[in-house]
Structure 1
Amino acid sequence: MSIYQHFRPEERDFIDLVHQWKDYVESTYSAKLTDFLDPREQQIVTTILGRHAELQFGLFGGSETTERQRAIFYPEYMSVVQEDFQISLFEIAYPAKFVTIEHRQVLGSLMSLGLKRGKFGDILVDQDRVQFFAAKEIADYVRNQLQSVGKAAVRIEEIPLEHALSVAEAWSELSATISSLRLDTVIAGLYNLSRQKAQLLIQQGIVKVNWSTIESTSFECGAGDIISIKGYGRCKLISIEGKTKKDKWKITAGRQK
């Protein structure tokens, strides 16, 4: 039985990468640190590595509540500490009395530096304070290159991880029984909408799964997916419990309050 059949076709490259990381650790007897992974990628890592008792892995994103996290794969006889995840925390100083900085502006400015999204973790915004996590290997470059966010001139300062803002999002847990794992059906069940309304939202291009716009109503959702709809908020598919006697899927999810 192929491992690929348990995942989406477009996830095959990432699955291959996970196996490359695993093979590296097993052949070199040393640890492997990844970029920041989104929740779905973390789910894939957990599924694949959970089958290999001789190989351990850890996840950490800079604080206990981060969504995006780096992974470390390591032999069972090794141990890892927080510092091994090589994460820097930056706070952005800007003229808050005159301008407002939003999450999307920070992400856009970071992406304009020519670095991969995987080099950055969560972006934390709490009123006029803004912070972001970054891979330590690109910290000096970011410190020297990030000079503006939106129309605001900024300067950034690296601060200890324990000074990260506590802006954990509030989620309410819910259970649902749905006829399939198609995106339109999942949206209808989690957002209490008709399937026709869910299909319209998808076709309008305002639905994202794991930060990528999805316009296929038949896209199959999986555990770990983050679904966001402009104007409706976010949901995360925590687990898929299996099928009921009536051949429907029982799922557990979180809905952003």
Structure 2
Amino acid sequence: MKLDIYDHFHRDEREFVDRAWEWVVNAGQYHEAKLTDFLDPRQRFILESLVNRHPDVHALFQGGHADAERVRALIAPDYRDLEGEDLKMKVLSISSGDQKFLELDHGDYMGSILGLGIKRSKIGDIHVLEDGCHTVVAEDISSFLHLNLSQVHRVHVMTELLPLDKLQVTHTNFDTMDITASSMRLDGIASDAYRISRTKIVVPIKAGRCRVNWKVEEDPSTNLKEGDVVSIQGFGRFKVLETGGLTKKGRYRIKVGKYA
């Protein structure tokens, strides 16, 4: 079945749209429930859009805490009560007695977990704590991680599996910077945020390596707004935190935060 909703999504997203629509149809017509892996915010938006198109389907989204970025979804016929459903998640607690452990960051933990052959879709949010790390993981791979994750960036670690109610959450830390720009164009703000020339930042954008709010964006002239999250492969992520008034020379005052 071809959906007119395809018109609203990037061509690279159509494979996921097809899979998500199949989940929705199976729930509505064949009374099948589907528990997804972890979805990023863009995938969640797509799935919610498709669920809303079907009158006999609803879904529950959970990621371990109210503000989770990555969530699992349970899609089911609308007559099924989803309150209190278990979306099969565990907390992988990572700790170490090595002082170098305190220097590890989000990327170190992610790299070590993925290095064990785990797919990104099996991992939820990673919370780097002052004395360790709590990672939300799919229950079906939790025991494997508990048994096999022994090092993070060459630091020996110990792991423990905890229930979701023991999850310790950290809020995102930003390295903030104030910039001024002649417009709210993606290429202009990104070049200042990453401290490279506009000519160079245009290349990965046009190559499809840029996402705005987790959606592929290939147009360098796209205007950003407050709250937008931009990621460019190889450069990291930043968020437009504030857009102030204009300077005397008519330039926009913008505060951006690079994800630490």
TM-score per shorter chain, which class?
0.7 to 0.9
**How many corresponding residue pairs?**
228
Query: 1:80 matched to which residue of 2?
Result: 82
CA contact (8 A) 1:40 1:210 kept: no
SS of match in other structure, 1:85:
coil
Give the drift of 1:116. 1.1
CA contact (8 A) 1:202 1:215 kept: no
In the alignment, structure 2 segments of 5+ residues that lack a partner are: 177-181, 242-254
Q: In structure 2, do the counterparts of structure 1 residues 148 and 170 end up closer, same or farther at CA, with 3 Å as the change threshold?
A: closer
CA contact (8 A) 1:39 1:225 kept: no
Q: In structure 2, do the counterparts of structure 1 residues 53 and 256 end up closer, same or farther at CA, with 3 Å as the change threshold?
A: farther
In the alignment, structure 1 segments of 5+ residues that lack a partner are: 173-177, 238-253
Return the letter of the residue paired with 2:64. G
CA contact (8 A) 2:210 2:218 kept: no
Q: 1:13 aligns with which of 12, 15, 32?
A: 15
CA contact (8 A) 1:203 1:216 kept: no
Would you say 1:235 and 2:226 are equivalent positions?
Answer: no
Query: 1:115 matched to which residue of 2?
Result: 118
Q: In structure 2, do the counterparts of structure 1 residues 126 and 191 end up closer, same or farther at CA, with 3 Å as the change threshold?
A: farther
CA contact (8 A) 1:87 1:136 kept: yes
SS of match in other structure, 2:53:
coil
CA distance in structure 1 between the partners assigned to 2:192 and 2:145 by the alignment: 42
Q: In structure 2, do the counterparts of structure 1 residues 166 and 140 end up closer, same or farther at CA, with 3 Å as the change threshold?
A: closer
Query: 2:106 matched to which residue of 1?
Result: 103
Summarize deviations over 1:125-146 as a string: whole Å, max 9, x none.
1223211010001111111111
Would you say 1:154 and 2:168 are equivalent positions?
Answer: no
Query: 2:127 matched to which residue of 1?
Result: 124
CA distance in structure 1 between the partners assigned to 2:23 and 2:224 by the alignment: 23
CA contact (8 A) 2:186 2:220 kept: no
CA contact (8 A) 1:40 1:225 kept: no
Q: In structure 2, do the counterparts of structure 1 residues 18 and 215 end up closer, same or farther at CA, with 3 Å as the change threshold?
A: closer
Query: 1:209 matched to which residue of 2?
Result: 211
CA contact (8 A) 2:90 2:136 kept: yes
Query: 1:41 matched to which residue of 2?
Result: 43
CA distance in structure 2 between the partners assigned to 1:204 and 1:49 by the alignment: 33
Q: What RMSD in Å do the two structures reach over aligned CA positions?
A: 3.8
CA contact (8 A) 1:105 1:149 kept: yes
Q: In structure 2, do the counterparts of structure 1 residues 97 and 168 end up closer, same or farther at CA, with 3 Å as the change threshold?
A: same
Query: 1:141 matched to which residue of 2?
Result: 144
Summarize deviations over 1:99-118 as a string: whole Å, max 9, x none.
32211011011111112100
Give the drift of 1:62. 1.0
CA distance in structure 1 between the partners assigned to 2:229 and 2:58 by the alignment: 26
Return the letter of the residue paired with 2:146. R
Q: In structure 2, do the counterparts of structure 1 residues 55 and 222 end up closer, same or farther at CA, with 3 Å as the change threshold?
A: farther
Give the drift of 1:30. 3.0
Moved more, 98-107 or 74-83: 74-83
Return the letter of the residue paired with 1:3. I
Return the letter of the residue paired with 2:131. D
Summarize deviations over 1:168-200 as a string: whole Å, max 9, x none.
33799xxxxx99xxxx9235469988xx95553
CA distance in structure 1 between the partners assigned to 2:164 and 2:34 by the alignment: 22
Give the drift of 1:94. 1.2
CA distance in structure 1 between the partners assigned to 2:110 and 2:52 by the alignment: 32
CA distance in structure 2 between the partners assigned to 1:114 and 1:219 by the alignment: 38
Identity of aligned residues (%): 27
Q: In structure 2, do the counterparts of structure 1 residues 211 and 93 end up closer, same or farther at CA, with 3 Å as the change threshold?
A: farther
SS of match in other structure, 1:79:
coil
CA distance in structure 2 between the partners assigned to 1:68 and 1:236 by the alignment: 20
